Structure 1
């Protein structure tokens, strides 16, 4: 797995690189001292994971994530401050590791990362064969004591809620323990569109499209709730290409 380290302290980057040498599955392919450098590296190198500091000159790690609308790898925060842990998981971070980083704690993060990218060889073929789910497919959803068996073409919106995704269908909105990225991989891209880092919409539920700030778009969904979802500037380009003649 390809990794990038983003930290304004050179000694901290060097120490993390040294620790990561203990894990043959990780290859550090770049490092950045700030978020501007990080953006360029991610676009050029397409890493699998970013080890991201929070407090840096210019933009903080959180500010950068809020603005970033391109390809986003897995994020592991590395920081000396423990008060940001809850917020880290609200932005779908894979893990949150406190400095000074201990090898045992880093090993836990790498195990989480490996579990995201590795599948047992015996099941890989069957998972791939059933990878994409279309509108006619039915899914089983359980949230607490409630259960649903729902066709995907009834799901109008998927919203990231930290380590969970909230599904919106009819007047229901259960939570499922799944990341938005992993859900996106299973959904038919002809029916479901990734609008931004937090939302996937069912294209058949879009009722209105309006220009929005910074070159983006805003869509309004059908139904009593009429949810309004922003399409980021980068995704707006894809959206227009997808729906144009």
Structure 2
């Protein structure tokens, strides 16, 4: 498991690395002591796990958390500030560990991580997109649907805005709550937003959403969903 440890105090970073080696299966560890270095690593390498301190030499680790909010890796916060950790759950973090780090608590978090593949996704409340060089957070409740756009995705909101996301549909589905499903090769949406299924004949179907808006529905997904509508 490729693991990025972001911690500005060397001794603490080394302790986290030792615990990671002991409890994370097949751990391959990278350590960053600064926010800037961590950002570079995330851009250059695919990680499975981020172990993040939110206070990095006086800089706010939330900036990195926002950048990573729509990445497919999982995040565990390690911090002395419990209030910060509570706010971090809006970004879909898996767990947080208080400082000073207890080995037993670290093991509990890693065991949960390695034996649980879905529950952390249910905590995600926002998606991060880059807009004009800045990070903007979009609440999931405002997202109408998501459409494939080559290697990217277009996020359409209820107020008729469109944001280009740098992750494709497969990567977004890896972090979105389970209620988000791919209803067509080009479309993902929260299935709770579906009002009804429309049959067009000749094996063609669509989904009616709010405001009489509709998107295509694949035949394979229709067979799964037909009993629920």
Q: TM-score, normalised by structure 1?
A: 0.51
The answer for the alignment partner of 2:74 in structure 1 is: 74
Contact 2:95–2:109, Cα closer than 8 Å, also in 1:
yes
- Give the distance between the partners of 2:58 and 2:185, measured in 1 at CA: 36
Segments of structure 2 that go 5 or more residues without pairing to the other structure are 127-139, 145-172, 194-208, 214-229
Segments of structure 1 that go 5 or more residues without pairing to the other structure are 119-158, 170-177, 194-198, 203-221, 227-245
- Give the distance between the partners of 1:189 and 1:58, measured in 2 at CA: 44
Deviations 1:94-113 (A, max 9, x none): 00101111111011111221
* CA displacement at 1:74 relative to structure 2: 0.6
Is structure 2 residue 176 aligned with structure 1 residue 181?
yes
Partner SS, residue 77 of structure 1: strand
- Give the distance between the partners of 2:44 and 2:174, measured in 1 at CA: 25
Distance 1:26 1:180, change over 3 A: same
Deviations 1:91-133 (A, max 9, x none): 1110010111111101111122112459xxxxxxxxxxxxxxx
- Give the distance between the partners of 1:69 and 1:78, measured in 2 at CA: 16
Matches within 5 A, 1:46-125: 46-57=46-57, 59-68=59-68, 71-117=71-117
The structure where strand makes up a greater share of residues is: 2
- Give the distance between the partners of 2:37 and 2:179, measured in 1 at CA: 27
Distance 1:44 1:70, change over 3 A: farther
Aligned length: 152
Contact 1:43–1:71, Cα closer than 8 Å, also in 2:
no
Is structure 2 residue 163 aligned with structure 1 residue 192?
no
Distance 1:31 1:185, change over 3 A: farther
* CA displacement at 1:223 relative to structure 2: 4.9
The answer for the alignment partner of 1:45 in structure 2 is: 45
Moved over 4 A (4+): 67-70, 165-169
Deviations 1:177-218 (A, max 9, x none): x9843549852451128xxxxx99x9xxxxxxxxxxxxxxxx
